[in-house]
Structure 1
Amino acid sequence: MMLTSRAKRIAPGAAALLLFLMAFLGVRHESQRPAPKADQELPSAPVSVEVGYDRLARIKKYPAESQPWIDAEIRCGVAGLVLEKLVEQGALVKKGDPLIRMDETGARNAADAELARHSEASGLLVETERLEKTGTVGPTALEASLAEVRGSRGRLDRARELLARHTVRAPISGVLTILSAKAGDTVELNQLIGVVADVEKLRVFIHVPVAEVGFFKLGEPFLLRVGSETHRPEILFVHPAADPQTGLIKIEAVLNNPNRDVSAKTPATVEIETEAFPAGPVVPAQAVRFTEKGTIVLREEMGKPVPIPVRVGSEIDGWYPVLDGLQAGERVFIEGLP
């Protein structure tokens, strides 16, 4: 009787526990069920595009550097004090233009003294010639007077040359790329104070791998891009051997630059066409299908895809040139179809 009573008391509790476990496991099962994937919802609608018309070319790019055709150093002809800087760096100058004026007081005084001595010697020569004609003096006196005139003339020329060197002038025509001396500076003889660059022509240097040297032919122009502008320098020289450190071949070209549109040392890029196709129909790469039976595209006809065999060239930047089988203006499917 006691066991029956205890069983009656345990049964309701066990049943409740069993119901709780079944509910917990059911919720957990639902939470672990994977959510449906977004890409399984609906297939995308077919998309077609118009066959374009273009010229496709594969472009190889190389960095290039440019240098002035000629660089001429500006050096001081004398030592002394700089009185005046006559032009600013970056100016366009002609050969012989004055750039720097130095203190020439001592040199001018010396030139004036030599001029006075030469004038005096010249006057004495005239008088000696007159006296020689009258027989007052002999040929020896005349020769001595003539020698004095010649000597004084040489000393005067040297004094004037020294005076002229107190004005520093442009050695060539071009752009004054450097001019470091300024008023108040003390400079030494032969001191480097500037550079003039002739940029009406520029030397263009390119370094390319040995296997790609064949893209560059002597005398042929190529495209040089400087910012948004393009130019056509010509190849002057291809070095026969690669640099032992870089393994690259150095190529030199000349760019005619009469209006100085391109500044020396401006970053530039060489663009070479390594493969090109004539202008014609072109399609996106997604439109081309390679099958066991050949290459096809799905041309749109009355809204339906129709397989069309085509002949294409190499893919260039995501596009194929269509060499045969399509015409510009037709439409082809690129996605949404199996």
Structure 2
Amino acid sequence: MFALSRRMAISVILPLAAGLSPMAVLAQDPSQMPPPAVTVVTLHAQDVPLTTTLPGRVTASAEAEVRPQVNGIVTERLFEEGSHVKVGDPLFRIDATTYQATVAQAEAAVAQARAQAEAARREAERVGALRDRRVASESTTDNAIAARDSAEAAVKVAEAQLQTARIELERTTIRAELDGEIGLAQTSQGALVTASQPTPLAVIRKLDPVHVDVTQSAAELIRFRREMAAQSAEGQPDRKVTLRLADGTEYAQEGRLTAAEPYVNETTGVVTLRLAFANPDRTLLPGMYVQAVVQQATARNVILAPQEGVTRDRRGQPVALVVNADNAVEQRQLTILQDMGNSWIVSAGLHDGDRIVVEGLQKIGPGMTVTPEERQAAAPQAAAGGAAEAAAPAAGTGEQPAGQSPQEPAEQPAAEAAGAETAAEAGAAQPTN
């Protein structure tokens, strides 16, 4: 109250000190006060791609677990952890002494079987010649032929056992079966490994390209496929898919949709989609959380309205204050499609060339005359928190409290001026000493 009285007194004393008469001071019209200054942004219609943001995880495009196929003691690790390996590169060596002995034994068994087969063949030939001269019986001949065939089969068995022994000997050197990045070794020199152990010795992952698995509701997937079919019929290029990383930055490479899970999860009602992205710099790592921004369609002739210039009325409808050609304030009800960075995509309520108020909303209301100050419209940024920031304008000073009309804040300066005039009249009516 004291501050208000002081302002009214100053409003009277200063003109008197400047040489104006009391009647001239009292004759000042409050309506002649300068219009409040507001900051506006001039809007322009444009075509804007509509996108949907889907959460997902990065996965390797291929993954191979390095496991032993024979039992033994690890004698050597032949790779550098975290390095790039190629198919056939040696990774581990297992003690091969036992397997070398097995190969030697199998080679001897093959030689023995071949010798026995050769003896059986010659015996069968002699018995056959005796049968031709009717010296050997048919039974003796049949036995000789059977012994020959059995010896030849024994050779094949011995050769197969030799091949198996050589394969196991070769497997004592564990090699890469995939081109990719190899992780940390899960074993060390001197450790006993077995062919049936559950833990892999290491894991190789192919990181260029990588996959991003995202989830989308079944209804959105149906709409998306319809739009893709229409786009393909019109000969338009494939839609862009970009990634938003965990720190809010956008990944430099664009991706593409490669596959969709052929069923809908009964519990969540979503479908898993697989996207592919080039990853030459190994920026994307398996397990990383990302957000895939998928272009769904293109909105034609829409307005990007700054979010700080959009509030909500008492019914919860989005509204904006616009300065017309006469610098008068108009309130517009908006139709919003979605957010885009720090802006709203508005399909109705705003037009090309409109000047939307972004600062000073608390000082004005519809019908008031203002002094607009232009601010350049910033390019919309695809910030990760765009949807969360959208609630800030609605909760700010642009929305009027319940029970108060939008014009009431602007009427307060006029009320103060009227109070000052009343106080001046009361002072003039007092008799002078």
Compute the TM-score of the two structures, normalised by the length of structure 1.
Answer: 0.64
Identify which of 60, 71, 86 aligns with 2:78.
Answer: 86
Counterpart of 1:240?
264
What CA distance in whole angstroms lies between the structure 2 residues aligned with 1:169 and 1:289?
64
Aligned-partner SS, 1:100: strand
- 8 Å CA contact retained: 2:209, 2:276: yes
Query: How many equivalent pairs are there?
Result: 296
Tell me if structure 2 keeps the 8 A contact 1:64–1:270: yes
| Aligned pairs (5 A) from 1:120-139 | 121-122=113-114, 125=117, 139=144
Structure 2: which amino acid aligns with 1:180?
Q
Is 1:268 the counterpart of 2:290? The answer is yes
1:285–1:177: structure 2 CA closer, same or farther, 3 Å change rule?
closer
**Once the 2 structures are TM-superposed, how far is the Cα of residue 267 of structure 1 from its aligned partner?**
1.6
> What does the per-residue CA deviation read over 1:41-100, in whole Å, with 9 as the maximum and x for residues that have no partner?
997434444334555566553321133344433322122110111223434444444321
* Partners of 1:298 and 1:307 within 8 A in 2: yes
1:11 corresponding residue in structure 2? none
Q: Residues 271 and 242 from structure 1, CA distance in 2 versus in 1: closer, same or farther, beyond 3 angstroms?
A: farther
Residue 226 and residue 101 in structure 1: after superposition, are their counterparts in 2 closer, same or farther (change >3 A)? farther
- Measured at CA, do residues 284 and 147 of structure 1 come closer, stay the same or move farther in structure 2, by a change above 3 Å? closer
CA distance in 2, matches of 1:323, 1:254: 34
Please say if residues 303 and 350 of structure 2, whose CA atoms lie closer than 8 Å, have aligned partners that are also in contact. no
Which amino acid is the alignment partner of residue 170 of structure 1? Answer: A
**In 2: Cα distance, 1:258 partner to 1:288 partner:** 39
| Letter of the structure 2 residue corresponding to residue 197 of structure 1 | R
Structure 2 unaligned blocks of 5 or more: 12-32, 131-140, 229-238, 314-318, 369-433
User: Conserved in 1, the CA contact under 8 Å of 2:100 and 2:169?
Assistant: yes
- Residue of structure 2 equivalent to 1:153: 159
Determine whether 1:166 maps to 2:172.
Answer: yes
1:119-154 Cα shifts (integer Å, max 9, x gaps):
454466557757876789984564465344333312
Aligned match of 2:90: 98
SS in 2 for 1:305: coil
Which runs of structure 2 are paired with 1:170-209 in the superposition (5 Å)? Answer: 170-177=176-183, 179-191=185-197, 192-193=199-200, 194-199=202-207, 202-207=210-215
Question: For structure 1, which segment, 124-133 or 169-178, has the greater mean C-alpha deviation from structure 2 after superposition?
Answer: 124-133
Write the letter of the residue equivalent to 1:251.
T
> What is residue 17 of structure 1 aligned with on the other side?
none
Name the SS of the counterpart of 2:92 in structure 1: strand
Tell me which residue corresponds to 1:253. Answer: 274
Distance 2:55 2:181 in 1: 24
Mapped partners of 2:71, 2:97: distance in 1: 13
8 A contact 2:216–2:273 mirrored in 1: no
Identity of counterpart residues, as a percentage? Answer: 18
Contact 2:218/2:264 (8 A) holds in 1: no
RMSD (Å) for aligned C-alpha atoms = 4.8
SS of aligned partner of 1:278: strand
Superposition deviation, residue 219 in structure 1 = 10
Larger proportion of strand = 1
Question: Who is 2:324 aligned against?
Answer: 299
2: distance between equivalents of 1:254 and 1:283? 31
Q: Partners of 2:39 and 2:92 in 1: how far apart? A: 73
Partner of 2:64, secondary structure, is strand
Alpha-carbon deviation of 1:104? 0.2
- Contact in 1 for aligned 2:40/2:355 (Cα 8 Å): yes
Q: Which amino acid aligns with 2:196?
A: N
Asked if the contact 2:45/2:351 (under 8 Å) is kept, the reply is: no
| Aligned residue in 2 for 1:231 | 254
Larger radius of gyration: 1
The one-character-per-residue Cα deviations of 1:194-253 (angstroms, maximum 9, x if unpaired) are: 33334556553334567766565489566341533153342513643442xxx4524232
Q: Is the 8 A contact 2:254 2:277 kept in 1?
A: no
Once residues 311 and 287 of structure 2 are traced to their aligned partners in structure 1, the CA distance between those partners, rounded to angstroms, is: 48
Listed as ranges, the gaps of 5+ residues in structure 1 are 1-32
Separation in structure 2 between the aligned mates of residue 290 and residue 72 of structure 1, nearest angstrom:
55
* Whole-angstrom CA distance in 2 between matches of 1:163 and 1:285: 70
TM-score, normalization by structure 2: 0.52
What is the alpha-carbon distance in structure 2 between the residues aligned to residue 225 and residue 60 of structure 1?
Answer: 11
SS at match of 2:100: helix
Q: 1:218 to 1:321 in 2, by over 3 A?
A: closer
Rate the CA distance shift 1:79–1:256 in 2: closer, same or farther, 3 A: same
Query: How far off is 1:165 after superposition?
Result: 2.3
Q: Structure 1 CA distance, aligned partners of 2:125 and 2:296?
A: 89
- CA distance in 2 between partners of 1:68 and 1:218 (Å): 29
